[in-house]
Structure 1
């Protein structure tokens, strides 16, 4: 059977089930083979687990249809499963951004199913992977990557979330948000007749232009997109580390926005922690981590952890809990 579960707990999606067949001597039994997928805004990472241990680990382009076309998503999944999905697979457990409804989960499961027709497929919001990778079954997971979101669960089985609305409606504190704010900062300086500062100069160099006015057309161009502008977040981080005040303020605001999301979910669930911060920015930008901790401390939250392994490695725990 193939199932696709989202944050609200989706019903199973019917699918044919075929016999698994015998495994070669010494190989993992089919029931012991699980593939975990972490489908982000910029890449899809897949890990093949046998007996709960990773035996293959590959990355391809994004298979998130909020960021790429359905055709590109399907092509990237085909590439990934060709690398790690051969043979009988018992289960695929996929986490992805933008899984907000049963229909979202079912649509992604439908893209995965042709590659593993005998497998059970579970699709959840990617924040579930993050919490499990932090070794927690209750608490709040905060994604700070290309996008942003907070999701949590308590011991009574209640779930809550904040953010995760996508870049047009939110994604505060994310890589995209920082990249966009760098553009806005540069355009404000231009409108005020000020010379480009160090952040603007770095942005212009990265965009291969010498005129801030050209950033407007570039930002709206189909040749750039969410991934491109999220990658410009590194310029804000570098400028902040070099002492640029506005960049430091932007990262502090990002930390505050992420902390506010986490605090909201904690209140809804009646929890005081833990809060686990993960994804690209969350795991790698110390200045953001410090801001995040400080703003949560003001809210009385002190059990704050930085994820030490990628979210996809939470899949074995989720599969065990599911069983």
Structure 2
């Protein structure tokens, strides 16, 4: 792209446990930008795949963003990295060091992936962001800059309401039914068919053959939503419990920041929140029941735009 090298450029990253998206933008003024390139690569959550593997995917996404803009990679004005698994200063420092060493930008800032969702989905960058995909997390920011979060404790200790936990709850329900400790459910036949298994006992081998690939398990949550739509009582109960858990994450953050009903913005992202409309509706109904319905709701398809927005504000 002619003249791109001489323009003020910002790079934004949405680095997750499934994929990494890099967005390259020309800054037009203190608040606005124009996207000129995008690149997508694999997972870059360093806690899940390690720093070296994550860095390879991140660099690939950046190079593809420049390539789609018709330019060679070069140093930009500011680089905002919204990274899953970067909630602690140690991870943020590791990413900052890497980006500085690679000379991606004159200025580098590392934030969590939840912060970029909030920046992308709320007008002023304040309110509550809720992520529910493979994992789950709520993050909030008040007008005075106060930040807080709930959830995000990982698949062993949390991730309530996420695709992974819905799928695990379904498999547990199937095995309880096999034992005679729980009601029968269509989930058994549907899970076995989807996984090409012959008996419920084979679900154990499926779960343990690659326990690190939680996305593979989380994708089975689609079968739970389908069964719930078909009025399977067990599946319906699992989905209802998941929506309740997600509402509690939002409530915890909103109450800590002293948000009032109809007076805060809610940004939603993650595979199951974006693609399961009834799940979103159920979540919002629960918030209304607790007298904490949001004033605005935005589904964020591309959190990397939030990273660019943070970068542009730094330049401003």
TM bin (shorter chain): 0.7 to 0.9
Structure 1 residues without counterparts, runs of 5 or longer? 1-23
Does the Cα contact within 8 Å between 1:96 and 1:125 map onto a contact in 2?
yes
Q: Shift of the alpha carbon at 1:224?
A: 5.9
Work out the CA distance in 2 between the residues paired with 1:118 and 1:139. 29
Work out the CA distance in 1 between the residues paired with 2:150 and 2:231. 32
Q: What is the 5 A alignment of 1:154-303?
A: 154-192=142-180, 197-222=185-210, 225-272=213-260, 273-303=264-294
Q: Shift of the alpha carbon at 1:25?
A: 6.0
Does the Cα contact within 8 Å between 1:255 and 1:291 map onto a contact in 2?
yes
Aligned residues: 299
* Residues 184 and 306 of structure 1: CA distance in aligned 2, closer, same or farther (over 3 Å): farther
Q: Shift of the alpha carbon at 1:274?
A: 2.0
Name 1:20's counterpart in structure 2: none
Give the counterpart of 1:314 among 303, 306, 311: 306
Work out the CA distance in 1 between the residues paired with 2:201 and 2:55. 37
Name 2:69's counterpart in structure 1: none
Work out the CA distance in 1 between the residues paired with 2:119 and 2:17. 20
Q: Which moves more between the two structures, 36-45 or 313-322? A: 313-322
Work out the CA distance in 2 between the residues paired with 1:274 and 1:117. 33
Work out the CA distance in 2 between the residues paired with 1:214 and 1:81. 41
Q: Shift of the alpha carbon at 1:198?
A: 2.4
* Residues 191 and 116 of structure 1: CA distance in aligned 2, closer, same or farther (over 3 Å): farther
Larger RCO of the pair (alpha carbons < 8 Å, separation 6+):
2
Give the counterpart of 2:41 among 44, 49, 60: 60
Does the Cα contact within 8 Å between 2:79 and 2:104 map onto a contact in 1?
no
Secondary structure of the corresponding residue to residue 130 of structure 1: helix
CA RMSD in angstroms, aligned pairs only: 2.2
Secondary structure of the corresponding residue to residue 66 of structure 1: helix
Structure 2 residues without counterparts, runs of 5 or longer? 28-32, 67-72
Deviation digits for residues 186-207 of structure 1 (CA, Å, limit 9, x no counterpart) = 1111222889742222222232
Give the counterpart of 2:75 among 88, 110, 116: 88
